[in-house]
Structure 1
Amino acid sequence: MKIAVTGATGHLGGKVVAELSKKTSKNDIVALVHNKVHAKNLIEQNYEIREIDFQNEISLYKAFSGIDTLIYVASKTYSVFDRVHELENVLAAMKEKHVGNLVAMSFIADQEDNPFVMSPFYGYLPRRLAGTDLNYAIAKNSLYADPLVPYLPELIERKGLIYPVGKQAMSFITLDDSAEAMATMALNREILKSRKSYLLTQSRSYTMPELGAVMTEVTSHEIGYHPVTVEEFGKIYVAEGDGTELASMYKGGAMGYLHGLSDDFAHITGHEPETMEHFLSREYKKQ
């Protein structure tokens, strides 16, 4: 059975490829990349590499030839129109090339009144898939814990978290755990036939004072909670290119839309997800 992974040179897609390699033959894995120039590491490991352009259906037809299951890690964009167009192209190519199984990446912020700019796409995804004949499973990620690690020096300097979510809690999952779950889902026929969404979270969520306490313990530096407004947050990170978009996500967080919890990860993989305490401690020691 051939399994193709989009975004195979990215943070999540690359980890999905690695997790699949632990569970099935490398000969059954196809790494889909935007440009082979960036796939040197995968080429050296003898993975089959195919180039794709999400906005070009012909390239998708070629890339999906002979594929049984697609793991769709969407491109990184804050344009709802572009993401929907991308999805429609993927589904058209899957239909044309008779790819019958799909594991699709999604995100916890999919509520109909969530102000996060990408919420419309994440609400569209399950409804669109429900109208297909595909076997599919949706991996709905909570917030990734991984970006917290390089953020720690700034938090130490600020002496506190500044996320504008007030008293609301937020849920997290590590990229490694998300990748393991998605790879497992792609190899489980029962899950693929379920046509359901699976929420991937750690076993607990955190208010910002609680998360700050964990970070204080890990770093031995006092990290409290000194929230800014949504508008201030957007301005602080505007230079990084996504301040406004992230601010909209945390605005939804302040409405309680980023704190969902689930034991789906354990049911999928057979073990508990890595805790925030263990993850941050492990990764901080590498700094």
Structure 2
Amino acid sequence: MIVVTGATGHLGRLVVEGLLEKVPADQVVAAVRTPEKAADLAERGVDVRHADYTDPESLVTAFKDADKVLLVSSSEVGQRVAQHQAVIEAAKQAGVRHLVYTSASRATTSKLAVAPEHKVTEELIEASGLTATILRNNWYNENYADTIKQAARTGSFVGSAGDGRVASATRADYAAAAVAVLTGEGHEGKIYELAGDVTWTNADLAAEIGKAAGREVTYTDLPADEHAKVLTQAGLPEPLVGFIVAIDGDIKDGLLAETTTDLRTLTGRPSTPIGVTVAEVVGTL
């Protein structure tokens, strides 16, 4: 039995879909906070179980009879460690044989803004004694969807990442890697650094948006404080402004620029270029 947490989220749902192509539906458990959102999966034979990262008892119940659990990292920044710890303890209590966790690039050594909570989670997993596999996902192409839409409409966008490069891939790419680990052999105890095959800059992103939108699109690089002002004036909440500017600083420092072969090796195919995602997003406008 394979349990996927956060199974109605962007990444979790893609993992469930990928699993259904490889294993019988009754061997897949969609562990979700709101079971009603997974009604379509239940209709297809998936075992939908209530699981809330803030409700440890629900997690133990959700993991009953599970051989493998995919812990899709929580999206609640600042709450992740406590939530992940509850999942780890529930997995141990339920006798889960193999825990797989979606972490961040070089989580234990990187200065990346999102790394600290992932670092602590990896340490908790190691201390738990559970057999585990760590999937350290680089940035997602989809993180730029709003930027792509705005730039396609207005002809420009701003940032503070300089000439920093990003080795991103799509959620579907990372989901396929997770499916490969959950359905394959020999992945126990491994840490995979997952990243796209080709890196790109914001200037490259502008060129791809221009090509897809059929117009000139420019990128303007700003000092971090000016970037923050623009985002604040656009109505973004202060925590989000701080996060976006911090990530651009990380990109400028090269913290998301490392390419590896791990993603391609696990999925058996090249990663999805940013230009493909740009074309898809522009096509929805």
After TM superposition, the score normalised by the length of structure 2 is: 0.90
**AA matched with 1:175:** R
Structure 2 match to 1:162: 158
Structure 2 match to 1:73: 72
CA distance in 2, matches of 1:67, 1:170: 36
109 and 266 in structure 1: CA distance in 2 versus 1, 3 angstrom threshold:
closer
The counterpart of 1:228, out of the listed 222, 232, 236, is: 222
CA distance in 1, matches of 2:196, 2:209: 16
For residues 212-227 of structure 1, the aligned pairs below 5 Å read 212-227=206-221
150 and 45 in structure 1: CA distance in 2 versus 1, 3 angstrom threshold:
farther
Deviation at 1:96, TM superposition (A): 0.7
Q: Kindly provide the CA deviation profile for residues 5-25 of structure 1, in whole angstroms up to 9, marking residues without a partner as x.
A: 111111111111101111111
111 and 248 in structure 1: CA distance in 2 versus 1, 3 angstrom threshold:
farther
CA distance in 2, matches of 1:15, 1:78: 22
Residue identity over aligned pairs, in percent, reads 22
Moved more, 155-164 or 198-207: 155-164
1:268 aligns with 2:266: yes
**AA matched with 1:250:** D
Q: Kindly provide the CA deviation profile for residues 255-278 of structure 1, in whole angstroms up to 9, marking residues without a partner as x.
A: 211111111111112221222223
236 and 52 in structure 1: CA distance in 2 versus 1, 3 angstrom threshold:
farther
Deviation at 1:236, TM superposition (A): 4.1
The counterpart of 1:144, out of the listed 131, 140, 146, is: 140
CA distance in 2, matches of 1:285, 1:163: 23
Moved more, 121-130 or 66-75: 121-130
Stretches of structure 1 that go unaligned for 5 or more consecutive residues are none
For residues 1-287 of structure 1, the aligned pairs below 5 Å read 2-79=1-78, 82-108=79-105, 110=107, 112=109, 114=111, 116=113, 118-191=114-187, 193=188, 195-238=189-232, 239-241=235-237, 242-287=240-285
93 and 38 in structure 1: CA distance in 2 versus 1, 3 angstrom threshold:
same
CA distance in 2, matches of 1:280, 1:153: 9
Q: Secondary structure at the match of 1:121?
A: helix
**AA matched with 2:115:** S
CA distance in 1, matches of 2:148, 2:155: 10
Moved more, 23-32 or 148-157: 148-157
Q: Secondary structure at the match of 1:173?
A: coil
135 and 115 in structure 1: CA distance in 2 versus 1, 3 angstrom threshold:
closer
Deviation at 1:85, TM superposition (A): 0.9
Q: Kindly provide the CA deviation profile for residues 13-60 of structure 1, in whole angstroms up to 9, marking residues without a partner as x.
A: 111110111111111000011012322322333321111121221111
Deviation at 1:127, TM superposition (A): 3.0
175 and 84 in structure 1: CA distance in 2 versus 1, 3 angstrom threshold:
same
Q: Kindly provide the CA deviation profile for residues 177-230 of structure 1, in whole angstroms up to 9, marking residues without a partner as x.
A: 111111111112201x1x222122221111221222222222222122202333
91 and 186 in structure 1: CA distance in 2 versus 1, 3 angstrom threshold:
same
Tell me if structure 2 keeps the 8 A contact 1:140–1:200: yes
**AA matched with 1:29:** V
CA distance in 1, matches of 2:122, 2:208: 35
